Structure formats: structure tokens, C-alpha cells
Structure 1
């Protein structure tokens, strides 16, 4: 069976939280307050009550300002533009344990959030216990030229720095965002980050398609970035990883404008785990474990996936193809540098000619093993079970409409991975192993 689609428009089902209410005359405990469903439509009105599809709000922000723990905001067909300098939606109200606030597309609808003059499509400002699911956020990069962005490069100009989804601390209270799920979204053409998790904790990023972001920002962003996570909440019971980035497709993300931090081209990675050691801020290092698994990353300006100045990161079962596209960079296709206690296992790295395959700079206890390398420069770091050979993709390429990173029957990645990696489901949801041993890469070959 051959599988070619990199990303499906079929979205994961949301868990709708509806709790029993109490008589209005009796004050109900918070755990028993009935959750509300709010509805938003491109043909709605903010003078409606927003409590039914027949009386929807016009702006998502109107619903966001009313939400309480357990509520769901259903977003119906329509195009949603900026409502403030923050962008389309700023989320400041939090859910609670077991009662998340969910923002999601209405089943059968395809709403589009379109930030143009604001800083973000959606920004979480110190908000926690939030799920964002099944939304398309389309930035304005297709209407910006490189010449315009170069001339207008500025840290104070949102038009060239707009992020699709971003988090930041509440600058008044100091609250940070945690317990976030970002699932099944289509994020593209934002001049800034695709998904930027800044100072977050307990985060799940999965089944998203992110492309063509980070082109025009001065902030050095990427398709998916976890920057200086902070231990703001205790680990959940039985939770091994506090931050997980899995089953995403990330491509064509590149920095074309110089980062203000160095006056040079930087980042534009498919996925980056950035400075969990907090070398840049001087804060206490993050203690949680991070998993990056089952992602397909290709044709990005920087690395496909890398950990920089980070600790306790597992980068496993990913497929990276022809990254480090930027002429200014030679980042590893998949790698780590200036990092500690990082495992890079069961990955496939098909590197661009003349570009780095792996890095070893400044690493301590970083393990590369059971990977397949092909193309690019010789690996700087290589484990005893790593293989240098053509991985045998069905139809590799940088066109997402035709690229197929499934494995041919005689691929050296088939039945040659290590089963010690705790990732038993592949990119498509197939259980590992299908043969004598697990396959390397994001996709398990169906026998």
C-alpha cells in the first residue's frame, strides 16, 4: 500500500467538554458549571449572543473575551482579519485542569484567519489549558516582496513580523502559558513564525501543516520553535515528556531578512528546540524532557530539525529531506549543537549537496545512532549503527503535491531501527513494527 499525502485535511476529533449545571439560584462549584459553546461566523454579528449557529458572533475575539474553563469556540466559514495590533485573536483567559478552552473549526467548515497588519494570527498571552484545532491561518507574505521587507525591516513593524500562532508572557502579571494543544492546523505564509512557543510548558504540537513562514521577519523564527521553555507547572501523572512535537509537516520556512540579534541570516528551520538551558536569558534551565518525533521536514532554509543549547531532548523517527536551502547557512539536516543529553535515533537525513549532515559542536552526551544519512557533507558525529546509504524513498522531492517519503521494500531503513525508542505509532498512525524490527524515519512501511 502506497501513501502519498503528506497531510490530511481530515482533522482529529475534539473532546467537547459539557458539564452538568446547577439551578440558577444556587451557586455551583467551578467543577460543575456548565460549559458554553460559542459560535463565530463570517456572516455573524457581535451584537448576537453567540450561543448558537443561528446567532453567531462576527469576530473570534468577541467569543475569546467571554470564555471560561470548559468552553468551546466553534469557528464557522468566513475570513477573519485583525481586530487589534495584536492580530486576529488574543487569548488571555485560561481554562483549568480537565476543563480546557478549545478554539476549533466547526465540523464541515473551513474558516481562514488572515492577519495582515497585526502581530499574530492567534497569540496566547499567559493563557493556559488551551486547545487550538483545525484552523487555517494564512499570513500576507504572498503580497510582500523581498525588497519591501528589506526596506521595512524593523522590530516595531508587525506587517513583516506577523506570526501564525505565538505565545508570550503576560507583561502585567508575569503569567506564562502552559498545558497547550495545537493540533491539526494549516499554517502558512506568515512573515514570522509558524508556531512560536515562548516560555511555555506542557505543550503538544501535532498533526499540523506549516509552510512558507519566517520569510520576512527580523526575529529569526522557524516553522515550529520552542524557545526557552520554563517549568511553570509540575509534571502530570505518568507523563514522560512535558513538550511533544509530533506528526507535523514543515517545509519552505526560511529567513530571508537578517536577524536583529546578529545582523545575519539565521534560523528558518523546520523545527527547532532553542535554548532550554537559558543561556540567552540567564534564567534557570528547563528540567522537562522534550520529544520531537514522526515529523516530515523538507526544503527549509535552515535545519530540518535541530536542538540548540538544549538538554533532555529526544529527536526520533523523523524524516528530513534537502534542508539548509539558504545560501547563507549550512545547518545540519537533523542535529544538535551546544547541547546536553540529546538522543537522535531512527531518523532519516537526506541532506542537500555541500551542506551539513550532523553537527557535534559543543555537545556533551549527545547520541547519534540508528540513523540513515545520504547526501551532504560527511557526518560530524556518527553512531555505530548509523548507515550512510540512499534511504530508498518512493518519490522524494520538494513539491508537497507529489513528494512521497514512504520506503521502498529494499530500503536500508526497513527493519533496521532500534525498538528502544518509545514511539510505537508512525506518522500515518500505523503501529510499529510492521516487520522484524521498526523502520527508521517517520513512516513505517506497511508489509
Structure 2
């Protein structure tokens, strides 16, 4: 094809990018092209979107009756392009709710998508712990007790077609029996300005609030491939033993999990070291094709509190910057440290406020290499990881509460965390978008005063 003709076709297709409408009062027999002729289901729009399209979602509860393997309220299989992302967002003034009863609320197996202003709310309020524990004894899992909120899932994709370039922005993900926001074999993922709470309570698979597992490199370009910033993450925990060990595990706020290469040598698969990869003659064929992970991740300006596992941690993960976060009273179930790297390499941990629960531990250091730790504040002295500019002090939060949507983790006047951070890996704004710094030096933690 001649370059001029290709360019004309490309411009023509972009020019015809359209808007699709979905509403609780809609009908999938409609054409979906106006507010009055909106579709009823998100899946109808997902089956039709093209690069550059926008899907506007109005008030309504969006659910599904598909509880089979891979069932989701919406499974997004069609990709955008680098120059024409597909955008899914709440219509102006609207608050649509995705209510999954199968495996997943929003499932993404494609690339170049933005999801903005959506709420995914699960079934925790209708599930009893006894029911979930009983189901965990069955050979086949019932998705009702394992429902994930938002899941980027490349496990069924060919090695050269893993999902990449996805943004989750200003979304609320809560009360899902399984994981909150989970990425499996993905690259170039941004999760920002979200609230993620009360997830992973009833699943048998040891989920967490925000988790990435086995990142699959789309390319080796410099810069951040994974960004998790400005999120409130709380009360994600496990109450049902992990089917792999028969013990409680994970339930973290934020976890980056396993970017190292598959190996035939057995090793731990969780911080407790109580789940071991069985030795094998060789990695599975599809895993042998996983590219070496060289991308970098940023975890910044988050508040992670009252989770069952850690507030933030990395496990068997490389190339991570953990900057200006606030963690508080985590380890409520499994007793993990507040904020730590484990069996990880090249992790930078700066400007964080780290407050463990009474009797809890600030951090850990198990089989790590090349960890940069400094300018962190914690209330009790510890020698596991320490830097010359660390501060041992009460941070002086204004109003710490178990519900982060109501609490206030800003710093009171006189807090030693104010104006005492460093400029290494500078974040331009804080959790609510306030410019950093406000005065001379940057504040530690997620808020700038």
C-alpha cells in the first residue's frame, strides 16, 4: 500500500471515531449512538468499539448472569491504537455502578484503553465467612466467592499480544470478594486517583487491593511502565486460607509481585515463605517466552491503611520507586511489615511515612539487593533498613480513621514530616493535586501542607 493512501485511510478512520452511549434505561436493540438510543449493557459497546471511540456510561447498575470461566460484566477484547485510545467513562454528572456476580467486573484483555469515573461494587455484604470457607473446600471454585473488581488479564493471550497501555482513573472498587484491581501479564498500566477498599475478604486465592503479577514487557523503553499514584487503599484483607498453603496470606494494600524470570529452582511465592514453587525440568512453554522485565514502576502519593497484609510491598520484583506514600496500621491479619521489599532488586524507598500497628514492624529486608532507603519517618526506632535522614517521630496526622474516605492523614502544624523530605525523584503534586513543595523543602508522606 502506498504511504499516501495508508495515511488517508488512517486519517479517515480517526475522523469517524464515535461516541457510544450506555444507560441503565437503555436497550441493546438500540443503536447506541445517542443518549435516547443508549445500549443497556457494557458488553454491547465493548463488541463494537473502535480506536478513538468514547463510551459514555449513565446511571444504572450493570451486572451479568455469566458465572462461567472467564465470565465478566464486560470483557474488553478490542484494542485502541497509540494515536487513538478507547475511553470508557461516566457521563457528566452520572455515577454508574458495575456489580459483578461472576469472576470479574471489568476484564481487559486488550490495549490502549482509559477507564474513568466508574464504580465497581461487589457482593461482600451478602456473603458470610462461613459460606466462603465452606466453598473453599470444594474442588471447583465458585466465582461468587472470588469475584475480582477490575482485572487486566493476559493469561489467555498469545505471547505477542499481552495487554498494555491501560489507565484506570478516578474509579471506586470496593467490597469484591476477590482482588480489587489486579494486573496479570500486563505492561504500561496506570492506576491513579482511585479508592480501593474492602476487597479480597472471601477469595481462596490470596488477593489484595491493588496487585500486579508477572509483568509482561511490551518493550524496553525507558521511563515508568507501571504507575500507581494518588490512591486511597484500605481494609483489603484475606479471611479464607489460601488454597495453596491452607494458611492466611496477602490481603495487601498495594503489591508488585514477581517480575523475575521463571526458573526450575524452587523458591517462595509469598513473604511468609510458606508456599514454594515446585521444582520443574523447565518453565512452562508460555512462561519461557516471558521477556526479561526492564521497565520501572512508580508507587507514589498513596495512603494505604488497615489492610490485612502490608501497606505496600514488592516481592521478587525489580526496578521500583516507592516515594511519598503514607502507610498506617497494616498487617491486621497476617502480620506483614508496613512497607518493604522482599527478594527484590533495585528498589528506591524515599519520603514515606510508615506507621505500623501496635507491635507491628516498619519494614523487612529479606534477600534484597540494591535497596535505596532514606528520608522516611516512622514512630519507633528500627535497624532493619535505615537512612541517615530518617526521622523517628509521631507524624501527627490530623484525623486517622479506618475509613480513609472520611479520615484525614494530612500533617498537623509542627509535624517533623513537614518540609523535611528530599528532592530525589521529585513528585510534582501530592495526593490531592497540591503542588510540591509549598515552601522550601518537600513534605514526607502523601500530603503536602
**If the length of structure 2 is used for normalisation, what is the TM-score?**
0.88
Q: Structure 1 residue 319 and structure 2 residue 326: aligned?
A: yes
Q: Distance in 2 between matches of 1:156 and 1:399?
A: 30
The offset of 1:233, in angstroms, is 3.4
Q: Distance in 2 between matches of 1:379 and 1:49?
A: 64
Out of 75, 85, 92, the position equivalent to 1:100 is 85
Aligned to 2:108: 124
Q: Would the aligned equivalents of 1:357 and 1:379 in 2 still touch at CA under 8 Å?
A: no
Q: Distance in 1 between matches of 2:414 and 2:157?
A: 58
Aligned to 2:301: 294
Q: Distance in 2 between matches of 1:45 and 1:68?
A: 20
Q: Distance in 2 between matches of 1:167 and 1:352?
A: 32
Aligned to 2:23: 41
The offset of 1:234, in angstroms, is 4.8
Aligned to 1:15: none
The offset of 1:395, in angstroms, is 1.5
Q: Structure 1 residue 162 and structure 2 residue 166: aligned?
A: no
**After superposition, where does 1:277-288 map in structure 2 within 5 Å?**
277-279=260-262, 283-288=290-295
The offset of 1:410, in angstroms, is 0.9
Q: Distance in 2 between matches of 1:321 and 1:30?
A: 50
Higher mean alpha-carbon deviation, 298-307 vs 28-37, is at: 28-37
SS, match of residue 29 in structure 1: helix
Q: Deviations over 1:292-319 (max 9, x none)?
A: 0000111000000011111110000000
SS, match of residue 144 in structure 2: helix
Aligned to 1:309: 316
SS, match of residue 147 in structure 1: helix
Q: Would the aligned equivalents of 2:317 and 2:344 in 1 still touch at CA under 8 Å?
A: yes
**After superposition, where does 1:376-387 map in structure 2 within 5 Å?**
378-387=382-391
Q: Structure 1 residue 240 and structure 2 residue 223: aligned?
A: yes
Q: Distance in 1 between matches of 2:11 and 2:212?
A: 32
Q: Structure 1 residue 184 and structure 2 residue 184: aligned?
A: no
Q: Distance in 2 between matches of 1:122 and 1:379?
A: 43
Question: Can you give the 5+ residue segments of structure 2 that lack an aligned partner in the other structure?
Answer: 1-5, 263-276, 278-286
Out of 357, 363, 366, the position equivalent to 1:352 is 357
Aligned to 1:337: 342
Q: Deviations over 1:172-212 (max 9, x none)?
A: 64421100000000110011111001111011110000000
**After superposition, where does 1:42-441 map in structure 2 within 5 Å?**
42-85=24-67, 86-116=71-101, 118-125=102-109, 127-153=110-136, 156-169=141-154, 171=156, 173-174=158-159, 175-235=161-221, 240-279=223-262, 283-326=290-333, 329-374=334-379, 378-441=382-445
Q: Would the aligned equivalents of 1:316 and 1:344 in 2 still touch at CA under 8 Å?
A: yes
Q: Distance in 2 between matches of 1:367 and 1:123?
A: 36
Aligned to 1:20: none
SS, match of residue 149 in structure 1: helix
Q: Deviations over 1:69-106 (max 9, x none)?
A: 01111111111111533120000000000211111111
Aligned to 1:9: none
The offset of 1:435, in angstroms, is 1.9
Question: Can you give the 5+ residue segments of structure 1 that lack an aligned partner in the other structure?
Answer: 1-25
Q: Distance in 2 between matches of 1:233 and 1:202?
A: 10
Q: Output the aligned Cα RMSD.
A: 1.8
Q: Distance in 2 between matches of 1:43 and 1:259?
A: 40
Q: Would the aligned equivalents of 2:108 and 2:151 in 1 still touch at CA under 8 Å?
A: yes
Q: Distance in 2 between matches of 1:195 and 1:134?
A: 14
Q: Would the aligned equivalents of 1:211 and 1:253 in 2 still touch at CA under 8 Å?
A: yes
Q: Deviations over 1:155-185 (max 9, x none)?
A: 6321111100001126264421100000000
- Shift in CA distance, 438/179, structure 1 to aligned 2, threshold 3 Å: same
Q: Would the aligned equivalents of 1:101 and 1:130 in 2 still touch at CA under 8 Å?
A: yes
Higher mean alpha-carbon deviation, 53-62 vs 380-389, is at: 380-389
